[in-house]
Amino acid sequence: MLKSWLVKKGYNAETATDASTAKQMVRDQPYDLIVVDIKMPDIDGFTFLSWVKKFDSDILVIMMTGYADIESAITSMKSGASDYISKPIEPEQFFQKIDEAFQSQLNRQRRDFCCNEMIKPPGKVYAELLRYLDNVVDQKNHLMITGNRGSGKVSIVRYLHEKGYDQSQPLVTLDMEQIESEMEMGRQLTGSTAKVSLLMDRFVEARGGMLHIRNAELLDLNLQTKLLSMLTRQSSGDDFVQVVISSVKEKKELQKVLIPKLYTLLEKNGVELPDIKGEKEVIDAFTNHFLKLSNYILNKDIKGLEPELMEQFYSYPWNGNIQELKNMILKAVLLTESGRIPATLASELFGKGETGKEEKSQSISSIQKLRKENYEKEKILEALALAKGNKTMAASILNIDRKTLYNKMKLYKIST
């Protein structure tokens, strides 16, 4: 009955008649919300709720029961449920509960976004960058973002979407590196025609919002030609798609692989993101920011880093930039039980090689090292281990969304 109501409202809804079936479904798909009975034949709803929250904390759960007592409601909310509804269920109240759960999550995500995803480090470079991005937001210009690994390209795209669009308007990502990897493994149809079809599908999906093309240096000639055609032919209006391409390649390298008209269209609004190496004030700002984030995620209260360790942060090469710093702080907070992250953790964080020679320094984060397609499985496994199985945190560490993480886990047959 509930499924028929949901389908009529436009939701994609599925049902499970027991907890073990439901668990397998949750493992296979990144569901947004689950409505679960408190009383079930195999396990109770609270046990199932606890499992869901450990598996993927982003899934909303509404508990339902025929026993409408205040004690059950309080227990549900304390256990992490988004809401509680008693049977018999009225359609109007049911959809109101769902709307309120999603709205509450959206407000929380917006709040976390403002606090966690995009900060404004000190210095002229970042101040000018953010002023320029605000102008891009106002004009809805197409954009090219270049920068080394981990320099914040994805966060910039999210910032542009957050500032320029309502949350109901789409932000669609097309990762060319991921597509190439999946095609090589035979998980997708191969050939240029299949890629063009995929690009067109993503463009349609992004109508009224933004399309982010990652690793744009991998766009072949047919894809570039089709993209240029779609960009030049679309008219302004509610269906207009703002396209942002990003790449680890420098502009002069991209100019060699992109057709001139496409390069000119995107480059005139191009930005190049800086590295954090040697920038003490910037390193301080991101360190403090990620320390607060890690405390929030891991429910800790670490006050800071010991001065000796902070000095090593200043001299470290940060080949993985902001993303590497984020991963290192997460790891440090996980390993710290005292009030401050001790200098004795340096060997665990930086490795035991020569830390004095920047050219030979190795990034402690294998998440940043393992960039080849053949090592994606190891990269995901290490992120899941670091996050203690928490899918939301693992996706954050890998800098991908939950759906992409689920797809890759299915691709490589990774279970937790």
% residues pLDDT > 90 (the chain): 38
Q: Which of 115, 130, 145 is the last residue of a domain?
A: 115
Which range has the worst mean pLDDT, 235-244, 372-381, 387-396?
372-381
Same domain for 249 and 359, yes or no, is: no
DSSP SS3 for 34: strand
Nearest one of 274, 270, 272 to 143, comparing CA atoms: 270
Distance CA 114, CA 217 (A): 31
Rounded to an integer, the average pLDDT of 379-399 is: 78
Same domain for 134 and 246, yes or no, is: yes
Q: Read off the amino acid at residue 140.
A: K
Beta bridge partners of 305: 341
Same domain for 310 and 381, yes or no, is: yes
Which range has the worst mean pLDDT, 62-71, 133-142, 324-333?
62-71
Same domain for 193 and 236, yes or no, is: yes
CATH number for the domain harbouring residue 101: 3.40.50.2300
Q: Which long-range contacts (CB under 8 A, 24 or more apart) does 70-73 make?
A: 72/38
Rounded to an integer, the average pLDDT of 132-137 is: 86
Distance CA 78, CA 84 (A): 11
Beta bridge partners of 304: 340
- Which class for 1: exposed (0-12), middle (13-18), buried (19 or more C-beta within 10 A)? exposed
Residue 136 pLDDT class (50, 70, 90 cuts): confident
Rounded to an integer, the average pLDDT of 137-151 is: 90
Residue 27 pLDDT class (50, 70, 90 cuts): confident
Rounded to an integer, the average pLDDT of 231-243 is: 89
Same domain for 233 and 303, yes or no, is: no
Tell how strand 60-65 and strand 83-86 pair up. parallel
Q: Say whether pLDDT at 62 is over 80.
A: yes
Rounded to an integer, the average pLDDT of 366-379 is: 56
Residue 256's domain comprises 122-272
Residue 327 pLDDT class (50, 70, 90 cuts): confident
Of residues 86 and 182, more confidently modeled: 86
Q: Say whether pLDDT at 189 is over 60.
A: no
Q: Which of 48, 83, 115 is the last residue of a domain?
A: 115
Q: Does residue 310 form part of some domain? A: yes
Q: What is the DSSP letter of 93?
A: H
CATH number for the domain harbouring residue 336: 1.10.8.60
Nearest one of 176, 151, 199 to 323, comparing CA atoms: 151
At residue 40, the pLDDT reads: 85
- Pull the structure tokens for residue 91: 């359609």
Q: Read off the amino acid at residue 63.
A: M
Rounded to an integer, the average pLDDT of 210-232 is: 93
At residue 114, the pLDDT reads: 44
Q: Which of 115, 146, 161 is the last residue of a domain?
A: 115
Q: What is the DSSP letter of 405?
A: H
- Pull the structure tokens for residue 312: 């090593």
Residue 65 pLDDT class (50, 70, 90 cuts): confident
Which range has the worst mean pLDDT, 11-25, 158-172, 375-389?
375-389
Q: Say whether pLDDT at 177 is over 90.
A: no
Name the one residue in this structure whose structure tokens are 């939950």: 402
Mean pLDDT of all residues belonging to the chain: 83
CATH number for the domain harbouring residue 268: 3.40.50.300
Same domain for 253 and 321, yes or no, is: no
At residue 222, the pLDDT reads: 92
Total number of domains in the chain: 3
Residue 309 pLDDT class (50, 70, 90 cuts): very high
Same domain for 104 and 146, yes or no, is: no
Same domain for 63 and 148, yes or no, is: no
Name the one residue in this structure whose structure tokens are 């397609």: 373
At residue 44, the pLDDT reads: 87
Rounded to an integer, the average pLDDT of 253-264 is: 93
Q: What is the DSSP string of 216-244?
A: GGG--HHHHHHHHHHHHHPPSSTT--EEE
Q: What is the CA radius of gyration of the chain?
A: 23
Name 24's Cβ contacts closer than 8 Å, sequence gap at least 6: none
Same domain for 133 and 266, yes or no, is: yes
Of residues 356 and 59, more confidently modeled: 59
Which range has the worst mean pLDDT, 96-100, 188-192, 364-368?
364-368
Distances in Å between the Cα of 132 and the Cα atoms of 122, 136, 149, 247, 316 are 16, 6, 21, 19, 29
Rounded to an integer, the average pLDDT of 58-74 is: 76
Same domain for 92 and 194, yes or no, is: no
Q: Does residue 416 form part of some domain? A: no
Same domain for 153 and 227, yes or no, is: yes
Residue 4 pLDDT class (50, 70, 90 cuts): very high
Q: Is the pTM of this model over 0.85?
A: no
Rounded to an integer, the average pLDDT of 77-99 is: 87
Rounded to an integer, the average pLDDT of 222-242 is: 91
Same domain for 157 and 263, yes or no, is: yes
Residue 383 pLDDT class (50, 70, 90 cuts): confident
Distance CA 246, CA 212 (A): 8
Name 2's Cβ contacts closer than 8 Å, sequence gap at least 6: 13, 15, 35, 89, 94
Q: What is the DSSP letter of 358?
A: G
Residue 367 pLDDT class (50, 70, 90 cuts): very low
Q: Say whether pLDDT at 295 is over 60.
A: yes
At residue 88, the pLDDT reads: 86
Distance CA 330, CA 385 (A): 12
